[in-house]
Amino acid sequence: MEQRAYITQRMDELKKQVLTMAAMTRKALNDAIKAFLVLDSDLAESVIHGDVEINEIENQLDQFNLELLALTQPMAGDLRAIVGSMRMTMNMERIGDEAVNLAHRTVFLSTRPPLPLDPNMDKLARIAQEMLSDAIRAFVEGDVQLAASICVRDQAADDLHYKIMRKVITDMLDESRIAERGVHHIMAAKHIERVADLCTNLAEAVIFIVKGEEIKHRCQA
Amino acid sequence: MNIKVKSIGLDFYYGEFKALEDISLDIGENQVTALIGPSGCGKSTYLRCLNRMNDLIPGTKAQGKLLLDEEDIYAADVDVVTLRRRVGMVFQKPNPFPKTIFENVAYGPRVNGIKDKEFIANRVEESLKDAALWKEVRDRLHSSALGLSGGQQQRLCIARALAVEPEVLLMDEPASALDPIATQKIEDLIHELKKKLTIVIVTHSMQQAARVSDRTAFFYMGKLIEVDKTETLFTKPKERRTEDYITGRFG
């Protein structure tokens, strides 16, 4: 096969694999959030067990990228696509880990009497889910503006996380017997807020792939 | 960046054929500038303008400005022998003279009128050291240069060029006929030599341009399409044609 055609084929394959991982990560996050909101321990357990597949595809993508670098000595857009994909897979794997952490909270909380949920938790979850979906869409479509909008939304996630924490702390001060569940709620909010942070990393990777602009650590500014 | 060589709107013709069109390019002192582009794009023609090697081809003509230290290379009063002493050249295939290793390197100083034997011997040693060849040949300086390996012959040609103390060294695909180890030696040498010289290299290997150069210029169909810091050009080219070429979409 002609070298350029070979590279194009491999780059298409890379994109497909990144999207496969993205779909798995999104499912893990959505299931973990759903399980948390309704305290469904079975669904939470499935998220925990499913993480091994996300880890496995991350390893496969690492190997795939390594081979592409070694065998095709990519330049310019190809090089950025590979480096950007490596960043994306690393961040998606971490999102998978946060989904697992959230699922562990759910498994624990499902063994205790339910604690009323702060409505902000639902809002925070929705923001994180949308940020992930949009990051994936921005990657598929090479949409830099959409990617940039993800960065902006991270502030809303941070604010909601802070509000939830304040509310739960206040509740715990009022009623100390809810302290254990309250801590799990605070940690759950933290896991979701971390997902939002990681989505900004995905958005930064998309901008890097498309435009070659490095906005790491400046994304939310 | 101090500018060693500067071309301003340079056109070059082989008879009626315009091989270079409106080339404006600054070449930084003590930098390595790589010229890349598909065959026939004008990169070697541009390189050969820098020491007027193209003058040897009948019917050629240059227009525009080409300055070495702000002096016009193509001015009527320029002595091309002096110019070629200041701007040395190494070619694609090693072309040592069928003489001894010593005589190959001593040739330049001799034709420049130096007769002092001790001075010449010192210059030969110094040049061979600068070309990273001294350790390999010091015991057989008076053997035929043709007995050296291809990589050694190419470094001998570099030593020969260095012996007249040029300010600029032009390298036309200097490693394309060499194996990877010999290539690496040439590339290591380029890194060393740029401390003393300005280097302009034509290469078909983008990986080589990426490894050795500070700035890279992309030529296409006789025009300079883009020039930038090497790390920028190979990761974030501004022009679509550059991107297409360096990612192998044409050429």
| Residue A72 pLDDT class (50, 70, 90 cuts) | confident
Domain assignment of residue B86, yes or no: yes
β-strands B198-202, B215-220 pairing: unpaired
Contacts of A68 in chain B (CB under 8 A): none
pLDDT value at residue A31: 98
Domain assignment of residue B70, yes or no: yes
**What value does the mean pLDDT of chain B take?**
95
Q: Rounded distance, CA A26 to CA A106, Å?
A: 18
Provide the shortest C-alpha distance from residue A28 to chain B (in Å).
34
**Residue in chain A lying closest to B250 (CA):** A4
- Closest CA relative to residue B187, chosen from B208, B173, B162, B169: B208
Please, is B29 exposed, middle or buried when counting C-beta atoms within 10 Å of its C-beta (0-12, 13-18, 19+)? middle
Contacts of B236 in chain A (CB under 8 A): 76, 80, 212
Q: Which of A9, A75, A207 should one mutate to test binding to chain B, selecting the residue with the greatest count of B CBs within 10 A?
A: A75
Contacts of A74 in chain B (CB under 8 A): 247
Q: Which residues pair with B90 in a beta bridge?
A: B171
**Cross-chain residue pair B249–A77, CB shorter than 8 Å:** no
pLDDT at A2 over 70: yes
pLDDT at A4 over 90: no
| Average pLDDT for B62-68 | 96
Domain assignment of residue B226, yes or no: yes
pLDDT value at residue A136: 97
CA distances from A67 to A7, A62, A72, B210 (A): 12, 9, 8, 20
- Closest CA relative to residue B247, chosen from B218, B211, B214: B218
Cβ atoms of A115 and A188 within 8 Å: the answer is no
How many domains are contained in chain B?
1
Domain assignment of residue B160, yes or no: no
Can you tell me whether residue B5 is helix, strand or coil? Answer: strand
Contacts of A212 in chain B (CB under 8 A): 235-236
Provide the shortest C-alpha distance from residue B234 to chain A (in Å).
5
pLDDT value at residue B135: 95
pLDDT value at residue A22: 98
pLDDT value at residue A219: 65
Q: Is B40 left (phi over 0), alpha (psi -120 to 50) or beta?
A: left
Domain assignment of residue B78, yes or no: yes
Domain assignment of residue B177, yes or no: yes
pLDDT at A218 over 70: no
Provide the shortest C-alpha distance from residue B238 to chain A (in Å).
10
Amino acid (one-letter) located at A119: P
| Average pLDDT for B116-143 | 96
% of chain B surpassing 70 pLDDT: 100
Residue numbers of B between 216 and 245 with CB closer than 8 Å to A: 234-237, 242-243
A-B contacts (CB, under 8 Å):
32
pLDDT value at residue A5: 86
pLDDT value at residue A6: 86
- Close Cβ partners of A35 (under 8 Å, ≥ 6 residues apart): A41, A43, A44, A47, A102, A103, A106
Cβ atoms of A144 and A138 within 8 Å: the answer is yes
pLDDT value at residue B250: 77
Contacts of A3 in chain B (CB under 8 A): 248
Domain assignment of residue B16, yes or no: yes
Contacts of B225 in chain A (CB under 8 A): none
Q: Is A4 on the interface with B (CB under 8 A)?
A: yes
**Cross-chain residue pair A212–B236, CB shorter than 8 Å:** yes
pLDDT value at residue B233: 96
| Average pLDDT for B36-41 | 95
pLDDT value at residue B177: 86
Higher confidence at residue A216 or residue B52? B52
**What value does the mean pLDDT of chain A take?**
94
| Average pLDDT for B224-247 | 95
pLDDT at A1 over 80: no
| Residue B251 pLDDT class (50, 70, 90 cuts) | low
Domains of chain A, with CATH numbers? 3-211 (1.20.58.220)
Please, is B204 exposed, middle or buried when counting C-beta atoms within 10 Å of its C-beta (0-12, 13-18, 19+)? middle
Q: Which of B208, B218, B226, B236 should one mutate to test binding to chain A, selecting the residue with the greatest count of A CBs within 10 A?
A: B236
**Cross-chain residue pair B248–A76, CB shorter than 8 Å:** no
Q: What is the pLDDT of residues A117-137, one digit of tens each?
A: 999 999 999 999 999 999 999
CATH of the domain at B8: 3.40.50.300
Provide the shortest C-alpha distance from residue A210 to chain B (in Å).
10
pLDDT at B89 over 70: yes
**Cross-chain residue pair B243–A7, CB shorter than 8 Å:** no
Question: Which candidate from B235, B242, B248 shows the least CB-CB separation from A79?
Answer: B235
Provide the shortest C-alpha distance from residue A201 to chain B (in Å).
20
- Residue B144 gets which letter from DSSP? B
Q: What is the largest CA-CA distance in chain B?
A: 56
pLDDT at A13 over 70: yes
| Average pLDDT for B206-235 | 96
Q: What is the pLDDT of residues A174-196, one digit of tens each?
A: 999 999 999 999 999 999 999 99
Q: What is the pLDDT of residues B106-128, one digit of tens each?
A: 999 999 899 999 999 999 999 99
Residue numbers of A between 40 and 79 with CB closer than 8 Å to B: 73-79
* Structural domain of B212: 3-93+167-246
Provide the shortest C-alpha distance from residue B26 to chain A (in Å).
23
pLDDT value at residue B249: 84
Domain assignment of residue B23, yes or no: yes
**Cross-chain residue pair A73–B242, CB shorter than 8 Å:** no
